[in-house]
Amino acid sequence: MSQLKEFEKVAEDLGKRIISIINEKKTILIIGHLDADGITSASVIGKTIQRKKGNCIIRIYSEMNLEILNEIKKGEYDFHIFCELGAGLGTEIENSLKDKWIVLDHHQISEKEKKMKQVFNAWQFDYDGSKEISTAGMAYFIAKKIDDNNSDLSWLPVVAMIADRQDQGEKRSVVSLNKMILDDAVKNGLVKVSRDILLYGRETKPVYAALASMTMPFIPGLSGNRDACLATLTSAGLEMKQNGRWRTLADLNENEKKKVIESIIPYLTQVDTANDDVDSLIGDVYTLEKEDEHSSLRDVREFGTLLNACGRMKQAGVGVSICLGDRSEFLFESEQILKEYRKTLSRLIQLVLEDDARIVEKQGFNMVIGDGVVDEDMVGSLASVLSGVAKFETKVLLVRTTTTGNYKISLRRPSQVDYSINLGIIVKELVDQFNGNGGGHEAAAGCKIPTSNLKVFLQILNKRLQNNIENNG
């Protein structure tokens, strides 16, 4: 059973500690991960400190390791707040930074680390960090304890929880602590929740382009094919333009939306999971009420993708600026980054799906080899999209690429995999054996492995996952 009162008490204590540091005029370094959760959580803490006239600097990293820790130590900051980075490195951080740090995270950690006072982690309180709260949510609870007026930041963890695919309740709803945060955002008039077709770009893209962007589920004949989508929707009798402007999903009435669904169904019947896929087309959508209509920031899912794009395209600072309130030059820049990110991701998807040599089927998992073509910061995004492709739905998916002296690996459990498995725990156990670093959640994990250890790592991983399949068969 979760422990809400204890959770809130620790959040309050950490809030008092941060206020004390602010009052002492000390400088705080906020260290965030490059994904949407890392960027939003760092922004929540940063905005909270700024409002109290504190001194803080935000830096975003793709990972945390001993080399980066040594770099941070040389900066001689007075205090350090890690946001979605540092889980599993508690001892190393303590050795490096003494008592001048806290780690906010929602990834699974060891029993030893759960006992560390500088660690604030969902799993310490029996909350499932893969679906009950994000790191931005952890940061938000601290922010509210510092000042209840920070409830106006509640939209940021809503972006994070959806970007982190924590909408795992019925019809893509959120649960537990996430629901508490969402309720704050709704009450403050920041977020509206409605039931609709789950097309990406529902506020910004022409309907046919939004349909072509759909990858989860992957629709054979439509996903990635704008011309086919336009022809299909036009044949269904849908008016694609109005007053010379392409219509978005948000422009359609309920009858027209039914026609969209009806036009998709024949394509989905080509796959075994057709019934589940049709059901997954409808769910909760989250709209940011304060953002301009037809802006890429209006739809929460699109906002999360924009932040991930900024991080993956090595422009995380732009994402942070957007979260902190900039809606001028950085908004335009972020939209350009998002376009480039989409192009890059589409190119990589096409490249690996069309090259059979890059796809290796093992007994325990399917592997996509991105060596030489996939940047390490794009591996996670590529793995997430490919896990929705029908040919990868039956087993865990592993995507790898080369880095300097290492392999970067991302693993995903596709939604159609019906056997029990915890990728985060498996990866954490294995990286400790192979001088790597990494971890994750039940359905998603990542790591770096020294090049010399890759072969044995894959052999043992394959055996572990194969045993899982057999034991659940």
Following DSSP, what letter does each residue of 360-402 receive, concatenated? Answer: EE-SSEEEEE-TTTS-GGGHHHHHHHHTTSGGGTTSEEEEEEE
Which pLDDT band, with edges at 50, 70 and 90, does 437 fall under? confident
Q: Does the pLDDT at position 275 exceed 70?
A: no
pLDDT at 271 over 60: no
Is the CATH number of domain 355-471 3.10.310.40?
Answer: yes
Provide the residue type at 313 as one letter.
Answer: M
pLDDT at position 1? 47
pLDDT tens-digit map of 202-260: 888 999 999 998 866 778 888 889 999 999 999 999 999 999 999 999 999 999 999 99
Residues in the chain: 473
The mean of the pLDDT values for the chain is 92
pLDDT of res. 390:
79
Coil, strand or helix at 87: coil
Residues 6+ apart with CB under 8 A from 242: 251
Contact between 229 and 212 (Cβ < 8 Å): yes
Determine whether 205 is exposed, middle or buried from the number of CB atoms within 10 Å of its CB (0-12, 13-18, 19+).
Answer: buried
Q: Pick the more confident residue, 292 or 152.
A: 152
Mean local confidence (pLDDT), 40-63: 97
Q: Which CATH class is domain 4-156?
A: alpha beta
Determine the average pLDDT of the residues in 284-305.
Answer: 92
Q: Is 178 left (phi over 0), alpha (psi -120 to 50) or beta?
A: alpha
**Gap between the Cα atoms of 408 and 256, Å rounded:** 44
**Residues 177, 133 contacting (CB under 8 angstroms):** yes
Task: Indicate whether 273 pLDDT > 80.
Answer: no
Q: Does residue 455 register a pLDDT over 60?
A: yes
CB 320 within 8 A of CB 39: yes
How confident is the model at residue 133, as a pLDDT?
98
**What sign for the dihedral angle of Cα 321, 59, 105, 55?**
negative
The two tokens of residue 349 are 């998807």
Work out the pLDDT band at 470, boundaries 50, 70, 90. confident
* Token pair listed for 415: 């939604």
Using the structure block, give the residue that is written with the tokens 């929540």: 44
| Residue 17 structure tokens | 């500690």
| DSSP output for 212-252 | HT-BTTB-TTTTT-HHHHHHHHHHTT---EETTEEPPGGG-
Q: Where in the chain is the domain with CATH 3.10.310.40?
A: 355-471
Q: How confident is the model at residue 2 (pLDDT cuts 50, 70, 90)?
A: low
Chain centroid to CA 303: how far? 11
pLDDT at 270 over 70: no
pLDDT tens, residue by residue, 197-214: 998 888 889 999 999 988
Given this model, what pLDDT does residue 136 score?
Answer: 98
Instruction: Tell whether the model's pLDDT for residue 396 goes beyond 80.
Output: yes
pLDDT at position 279: 75
Are 247 and 240 spatial neighbours (Cβ–Cβ below 8 Å)?
Answer: yes
Helix or strand (DSSP H, E) at 462:
helix 454-471
Q: How many CA atoms lie within 13 A of 343 on its CB side?
A: 7
* Coil/strand/helix, residue 168: coil
| pLDDT on residue 420 | 80
pLDDT of residue 400: 97
Residue ranges of the chain that CATH labels 3.90.1640.30:
4-156
Rounded CA separation 368/360 (Å): 6
For residue 240, CA distances in Å to 111, 209, 224, 335 come to 56, 11, 18, 24
DSSP state of 299: B
Do 435 and 448 form a contact (C-beta atoms < 8 A)?
Answer: no
Q: Is the pLDDT of residue 80 over 50?
A: yes
Span 264-271, average pLDDT? 78
